[in-house]
Amino acid sequence: MHSRALHALLITVTLSFMPAAVRPGVDSPGILASQVSFSSVVPIPASSVAAPGIVHDITTNTAIFADTGAIGIADYLAQKLRTSTGYTLPVRATPGVGGIQLLLTGAPPSVGAQGYQLDVSTDAIVVRANQPAGLFHGVQTLRQLLPVAAEATTVQPGPWPVPGGTIVDQPRFVYRGAMLDVARHFFNVAQVKRYIDQLVLYKVNHLHLHLSDDQGWRIVIDSWPRLATVGGSTAVNRDPGGYYTKAEFSDIVNYAAARFVTIVPEIDMPGHTNAALASYAELNCDGNAPPLYTGTRVGFSSLCVSLPLTYTFVDDVVRELTALTPGPYFHIGGDEASSTTPADYTTFVNRAQGIVAGHGKTVSGWHDVVNADELPSTVLQYWNTSGTNNAVAAAAARGTKVIMSPASKAYLDMKYQNSTRLGLKWAGLIEVQTAYEWDPATFLTGVGEASVLGVEGPLWSETIRTSADIEFMAFPRLPALMELAWSPRSTHSWTGFQQRLGAQGPRWRVMGMNYYQSRQITWPEGS
């Protein structure tokens, strides 16, 4: 038997992982060998046909050929693979022969703006898409078809086989999101970038940053400097505060954009505003600034709806943040405003929507904003646990789009089990199966497939302080949510997912990530 073909059979190597973090190049080579196949890709592709016995090896001679418009993606892939393979992997303009080809021609129209076709043959690895975003998603699939050692941060011995076949893949929903609460605890630029790098592997294309809350204000606003310097000084439990300068925020936006992730900034209003009210006495109805707050209660603060200065403030904040944010959405929060009267809530949300629209952005908000007069373009983010909400259903019937984040399924800050060290449980315990076993298009009565813009996994950070904490709560539930958001419903299978997800564990190890080793998942031995 040809040694390549033999290798294709032998990549089914029994894994033996050390309980501690893997040290690529130090631990035994077996740690880095793992079984990859078309059936270990998450989210599962819309369609795939394996070519048994066909393998394409990436070798020292492999070049990456890219169409104009795909050079950046080729550089991204080359950089990742150079680190682990040690090969030069030159990036060249098309046309070329063999190697890895990233092409903006020849993809089926059916894959749309975000989908791709991936063909792996003995001759070449070819990714085709109609738009760069599709190529990027195809490259993420390709990463998952390589041995996990390809994710190592030091040079590994190889070989680097990719299983042969064809994948034609496109998303079910256009919006696939994660939310990070940087207000309850602050996460710096490096931590946000690290999370972005982990998210894109599962085809997330929006990162919603919850930039303000009672416990902290996290972005510099030049016309209201004390928001950051005073309001940003605290965090839950008196942990260190922090904020992004405008340059840092732009750095995050650009880093995300280079990975086809749109940043959605949220300034939560009119409730969840104690950090702002504590920074400026004149924003309070009684002219007195409340103390800064480091607890975890919700619903006690409100902007002063009758005060003209409130709208100057909102306009300044929206204008300055909008100038930093190329994406279409501005999230106005709007949740849990229990210290605002219903009439004031409506007045405030209506004016805030007008301000956001006036600055050229589409409003998104927690679904509570349906209690005001939502604009036809406003996107509602549904967070409640109930499968019935007449107001949201009525809005959907009028054409309003909904992002599904039901807390009992999608909240990444809920505990997995009672014994989980991190997290809350007001919306219930969310084991991996619970996160996977629901349908975004049937969860909420009256909000069907056509009304669902997508799915988002919010990670509130009352109990979350480190990157290791973020990873523990997001993995593996975020990939579960992203399979719901990306893969056609016809592919849905818990038993299939248990296997697919298990195959990700070794990859997370090599990437140096923390994750929850759920007993519901078939992890490769020892991982």
**Strand 160-169's sheet: what is its strand order?**
47-58, 160-169, 116-120, 124-128, 99-103, 64-66, 91-93
From the list 151, 282, 336, 431, the catalytic residue is: 336
Select from 8-16, 144-152, 405-413, 469-477 the region that touches ligand TNX (CB under 6 A): 405-413
Alpha-helical runs (H) found in 146-293: 189-200, 226-229, 246-258, 274-279
Contact between 460 and ligand TNX per CB under 6 A: yes
The answer to whether residue 174 forms part of the interface with ligand TNX (CB under 6 A) is no
| Binding residue for ligand TNX, selected from 116, 330, 348, 411, defined by CB under 6 A | 411
**Strands 175-181, 262-269: pairing kind:** unpaired
Question: Whole-number minimum distance, CB 368 to ligand TNX, in Å?
Answer: 8
What phi, psi does 63 have (nearest 5°)?
-115, 160
Instruction: State which of residues 11, 13, 424, 468 lies at the interface with ligand TNX (CB under 6 A).
Output: 424
Q: Residue 320 catalytic?
A: no
Q: Are 265 and 186 within 8 A, CB to CB?
A: no
Number of residues assigned to the chain: 527
Q: What is the dihedral of CA 60, 66, 70, 75, to 10 degrees?
A: 20
Question: Among residues 461 and 487, whose Cβ is nearest to ligand TNX?
Answer: 461
For residue 296, the minimal CB distance to ligand TNX (Å) is 8
Backbone angles phi, psi at 99, to 5 degrees: 65, -150
Q: How many CA atoms lie within 13 A of 240 on its CB side?
A: 6
CA distances 289 to 165, 230, 258, 303, Å, are 64, 12, 41, 12
Asked, as a colleague might, if the bond just before 95 is cis with ω within 30 of 0, I would say yes
CB of residue 352 to ligand TNX, shortest distance in Å:
16
CB of 303 to ligand TNX, least distance (A): 16
Is the bond into 290 cis (omega within 30 degrees of 0)?
no
Position 298 contacts ligand TNX (CB under 6 A):
yes
For position 383 contacting ligand TNX by CB under 6 A, the verdict is: yes
**Min dist. Cβ of residue 407 to ligand TNX (A):** 6
Q: Per rule CB under 6 A, is residue 335 in the interface with ligand TNX?
A: yes
Q: Binding-site residue total for ligand TNX (CB under 6 A)?
A: 11
CB of 107 or CB of 410, closer to ligand TNX: 410
Nearer to ligand TNX by Cβ, of 119 and 413: the residue is 413
To ligand TNX, the closest distance from the beta carbon of 413 in angstroms equals 5
Alpha helices in 40-127 (DSSP H): 71-85
> If binding is defined by CB under 6 A, does position 299 make contact with ligand TNX?
no
Stretches 242-250, 407-415, 483-491, 494-502: which one binds ligand TNX (CB under 6 A)? 407-415
Active site residues: 336
**Which residues of this chain interact with ligand TNX, rule CB under 6 A?**
298, 335-336, 366, 383, 407, 411, 413, 424, 460, 462
